[in-house]
Structures are given as C-alpha cells and as structure tokens.
Amino acid sequence: MEQFQALNTYLTENFGPFGMLLVVGILGMFLILLTLPVLLRKQEDPLDKLREASKGRQTTTIVDGKKQKLRAGGKNDKLEKYSTFLEPKDEEEYSAIRLKLMQAGYRSKNAVRTYHFLQFILGIGFLILGALYAILKSATGEPSMTHLLLYVLGPGIVGYMLPKYWVTKRQQERQEEITNGFPDSLDLMLVCVEAGQSLDQAIQRVSKEIRAGYPSLADEYEIVGHEMKAGKDKSSVLRDMSERAGVTDVASFVTVLIQSATFGTSISDALRVYASEMRDKRVMRAEEAANKLPTKMTLATMMLTVPPLLIILIGPSIYEIAKTLNTANFGL
C-alpha cells in the first residue's frame, strides 16, 4: 500500500493530478496493441488449403526441365489473413467503398483492404502520438481533463479520417479531369470514326492521343478497348466505364452509344451531335465560372476597400473630435 501511495505521489508531482490515469491509459493501449495480432489472426480453413494446393498445381508448368509459374499468386498480399477484420461484412457497404476507390483511380483487388488498413494504422499511430503529447503537457503543466482528451483523441480522429479525405479529394480531381477532357476526346473519336475506323479502333487511338493531357480519361478508354478485344459485351463494357468514371457526361455518352447500337443508327452521326453538345456545355461551364467570380470577389473587395475608405473619410473627423475633447478636459 505504501508503494502504491509513493507511486501515486511521484506521478502526481511529475504529470499532474491525472498522472495515474494517463499511465493506466497508456498501459491499456499497449495491451490492446499486443493482443490485436492474436485477435486478428485468421484460422486457415482446411478446404482453403486444398484449394490453394490445387491452384498451385494448375498454375505451374515444366519448361526445359524447370518448374515455372504461369501467373502470380497471392503470396505478396500480407493483409489477406486480416481480411475478415479489414473488409466490411455488408455487401452494399463494400460495393460503395469499392466503387469510390475505383472512381479515385485505385482499381486493385486489394484496394478496400488497404484503405481500411491505412485508416486503422494511422488512427492508432496518431492516437499514440497524441498520448505522448498529453504526457508531455502534463509534465510541464496541469491541463484539464477536457484538454487531455482532446490531445489524445483529436490526432486519432484526424489519422482515421485522413485516408477518407485523400480518396475523396483524389476522386474529385479525377472526375474534374475527365469532365474537362471528354469533349476533346469525342472530337478525336469522331475524326477516327469518319476516317473509316471502327469504334474499338477509335477508342484505342483516342486513348493514346489524349494520354499526355488527360491520363485518367486515357486509362478509362484503354480499359474499354482491352475489354472489347477480350470479347466482353460492348454494352456492359460501356456501362462499366460510366460507373468507373462517375461523371454525368460519360453516362449520357454511354446511353447514346447503346441506343445507337440498339436501333441501328449511324455512330458517326450520334458522335457528331453529342460532341457538339459537349463543346457547348463546356463553354457554358466556363461562362458559369466567370459569372461566379464577381460574387466571390464581393466579400474580399468589401474587406479590403471599405475599412481603408472609412479610415480616410472618418479618421480626420474622429481625430479632431478627440483633440477637442482633450483640450476641453485640460481647460477644466
């Protein structure tokens, strides 16, 4: 009992009245980190072992007396054993996150798992940094319990939300790039189709021509071209492109092409009309952005011009009034 009181006195003198609470919290955090690998360890199913063994037999061949792999396996996926913890159980939630990552340009099959892993690691890491900062503040002063909680939980929340912010920002930038480059790509596609190329060849040529200016749109066209070469249904390929892009203009373009193929109309005529509409729409977006500038500049203009104007107009009068009052006070 005396040792506990001595420890409590030492912690109170060095870390403030919440010293014991901070030590208990840090010990609990380290215990959680130590037990996480055990809790997250996924028990391997014997059936999964048999499937992997059969896949291993099917993906190897003998060439010149040496065994070679036909395709890469999943050994480099370090997070696969934690998939039950890192991936959402709800199918709709998983599909929504998967679609958002695809629209942001992350199309790998492990993107969802990596996204949640980064959220977990950054949240825990920033939480530990916040706890260390709280200990430092407690040693140099006596902050309140509210400030200590903010020091600890604030960085943890920021670290957890940082991947989400990055993906959202990347998604918006990519959609903006696709929107800006889409009218030019339609003009190039119209030229290729009118020159006698098929739609598949035109898409492949456009993907090469616009890569320097709009790499995200070029990637989408390249994926479409490869899927068409592989024999996938053209309507499904185009619908998948509209989902990956997440842009209204691309979705409308896909609808126009599908309707043109369904009713047997000329693709060049449909492209010509739609390309003209996209050019007009781009001009309208530029005019809209230009018309918003005066409204956005009003507040800045008022803040930068009104105070100096008031100082110039009212300043001399205020100075004279203050001078008169001082003279009257000294006269009394």
pTM value is: 0.66
State the DSSP H helix or E strand holding residue 68, giving kind and residue range, or none if neither: strand 66-69
Residue 129 — pLDDT band, cuts 50, 70, 90?
Answer: confident
pLDDT at 165 over 90: yes
Looking at residue 200, its pLDDT comes to: 85
Phi, psi of 230 (to 5 degrees): -75, -10
What contacts 5, CB < 8 A, 6 or more positions away?
A: none
Mean pLDDT (whole number) for 231-242: 87
Looking at residue 267, its pLDDT comes to: 84
Looking at residue 62, its pLDDT comes to: 44
Distance CA 289, CA 216 (A): 23
**Cβ-contact 73, 59 below 8 angstroms:** yes
Least confident of 3-12, 130-139, 200-209: 3-12
Average pLDDT, the chain: 78
Looking at residue 61, its pLDDT comes to: 43
pLDDT at 90 over 90: no
Looking at residue 72, its pLDDT comes to: 41
pLDDT in tens, 198-214: 888 888 899 999 988 88
Higher pLDDT, 8 or 148: 148
Assigned token pair, 312: 């110039």
What are the helix and strand counts (H, E) for the chain? Answer: 12, 2
| Domain limits, the chain | 2-38+78-173, 182-284
Assigned token pair, 245: 């892009």
Q: What is the percentage of the chain residues whose pLDDT exceeds 90?
A: 5
Mean pLDDT (whole number) for 260-283: 85
